[in-house]
Structure 1
Amino acid sequence: MELAVRRPSKIVAVHLNYRSRAAQRGKVPDFPSYFLKPPSALAPPGVLARPAGTSLLGFEGEIALVIGTRAAGVKPADGWSHVAAVTAANDFGVYDMRAADGGSNVRSKGADGFLPIGPELIDARQVDPAGLRLRTWLNGSLAQEATTADLLFDFGYLVADLSQTLTLEPDDIILTGTPAGASVAVPGDLVEVEVDAGSLTSGRLTTRIAEGARGYRIGAQPATDPEVARLAWGTDG
């Protein structure tokens, strides 16, 4: 299956942006913070191999914004007008490599295929950005459900905030955060994510988890502890 989006120049992800997730983490940010995922992380629906030697592959259902027109120094009231489409995304990451990143998320969330997206685009002009719903299923059971009414920072604000620092180009992607319920997937699991606004839907983004043959042979190695495991499984975030 082909990707629903074209290859962007950049992918920017928000750390905390749902009230339910912030409550789990025990902190509410005064302003959004971000990290980058490489375009090589993009993948269509399909199979994701968990890196060998890791055990904490976290899934995070998200709403992805696809930029339609160039945005540089725009106002929050104008931010949404630069969005062409929304769709479903799954911001996968291995918590086992979190300590090795020093906060950058390069190893933990930047691996090839760690951002399935799609399968369909929803035209931004046909939806109210305050009225979108996000759902994630793990093996058929609902794991995450939230609407954009639960956002700390709305989509127009995110576009404007980012455009102060970097120019958003057409096809760039903004991952807008995940609500409570994100957890760990293991080989054999099926994770599905869907974004909808009434009858308009992205369709279900399906990812089957497999055991990978490739791991980490050079540099930092996978490591975990009880605190990292709690964060990954979602018992406290």
Structure 2
Amino acid sequence: MHLNYRSRAAQRGKVPRFPSYFFKPPSALAPPGVLERPAGTELLGFEGEIALVIGTRAVAVAPGDGWRHVAAVTAANDFGVYDLRAADAGSNVRSKGADGFLPIGPVLLGARDVAPDGLRLRTWLNGDLVQQASSADLLFDFGFLVADLSQTLTLEPGDIVLTGTPAGASVAVPGDLVEVEVDAGALTSGRLATRIAEGARGYRIGARPATDPELARLAWGTDD
């Protein structure tokens, strides 16, 4: 989804009235490991997030019942190349939907074992803590997100809902190590580690990568 943490909304200078969403295809899913930055791109953004794994079918559920349909939570990293942000404005099909652009895991935390407003999210870049937030800092809580989405589409077991990223998201370059962890005290997802490498495959047809100073400022997170 788009904006959901108060810190990120403050950084971007806008607070949404309602959640807004986009899809990432199943082929974007990846385990911990190596992610190649597409050739010809410069602005590979990382965003540590809490991922919800749906456990039971949800159709037009009430916000108070949304959390009951979540089986587990874990760490996710919502990667995207800002260089293609303009290619599919709003939908993020090419900027965020590439193969491997959604590492997730490594450990699932049972939803019944954690409080939905008691999760801590942290992201490290080369060992430095760059993102830290609590699920209590969300503009729209987990139950609301499940309910809101279920008005339009049926959520099936195994579906994954990303819940937004806090301030501190930035750009990773080849050689960087990005790690994301979700924990509830002693219970932890473990660190989701992704090493960035330079890819050989780029874009030869259709929209081409392009950057400008304003886009770079947005990607690096220096717009606040």
Partner-residue secondary structure (3-state), 2:155? coil
Could you state the TM-score of these two structures normalised by the residue count of structure 2? Answer: 0.99
CA–CA separation in structure 2 for the residues paired with 1:186 and 1:213: 14
Counterpart AA for 1:215: G
Say which of 13, 21, 30 aligns to 2:17.
30
Counterpart AA for 1:68: G
Cα deviation, residue 102, structure 1: 2.3
1:211 aligned partner: 198
Aligned pair 1:119/2:106, yes or no? yes
1:224 aligned partner: 211
Aligned pair 1:97/2:79, yes or no? no
CA–CA separation in structure 2 for the residues paired with 1:130 and 1:104: 28
Could you state the TM-score of these two structures normalised by the residue count of structure 1? Answer: 0.94
2:143 aligned partner: 156
Aligned pair 1:178/2:171, yes or no? no
Aligned pair 1:73/2:67, yes or no? no
Counterpart AA for 1:115: L
- Runs (4+) off by over 4 Å: none
1:169 aligned partner: 156
Cα deviation, residue 173, structure 1: 0.3
CA–CA separation in structure 1 for the residues paired with 2:99 and 2:17: 32
Partner-residue secondary structure (3-state), 1:231? helix
2:51 aligned partner: 64
CA–CA separation in structure 1 for the residues paired with 2:59 and 2:128: 41
2:36 aligned partner: 49
CA–CA separation in structure 2 for the residues paired with 1:101 and 1:231: 17
Kindly tell me the number of residue pairs found equivalent between the two proteins.
Answer: 224
Aligned pair 1:234/2:221, yes or no? yes
CA–CA separation in structure 2 for the residues paired with 1:199 and 1:124: 14
CA–CA separation in structure 2 for the residues paired with 1:53 and 1:103: 22
Please list every run of 5 or more consecutive structure 1 residues that lacks an aligned counterpart in the other structure: 1-13
Please list every run of 5 or more consecutive structure 2 residues that lacks an aligned counterpart in the other structure: none
Say which of 184, 192, 200 aligns to 1:197.
184
CA–CA separation in structure 1 for the residues paired with 2:89 and 2:83: 13
Counterpart AA for 2:129: L
Cα deviation, residue 178, structure 1: 0.1
CA–CA separation in structure 1 for the residues paired with 2:177 and 2:136: 27
Counterpart AA for 2:147: A
Counterpart AA for 1:139: N
CA–CA separation in structure 2 for the residues paired with 1:31 and 1:142: 29
CA–CA separation in structure 2 for the residues paired with 1:162 and 1:99: 25
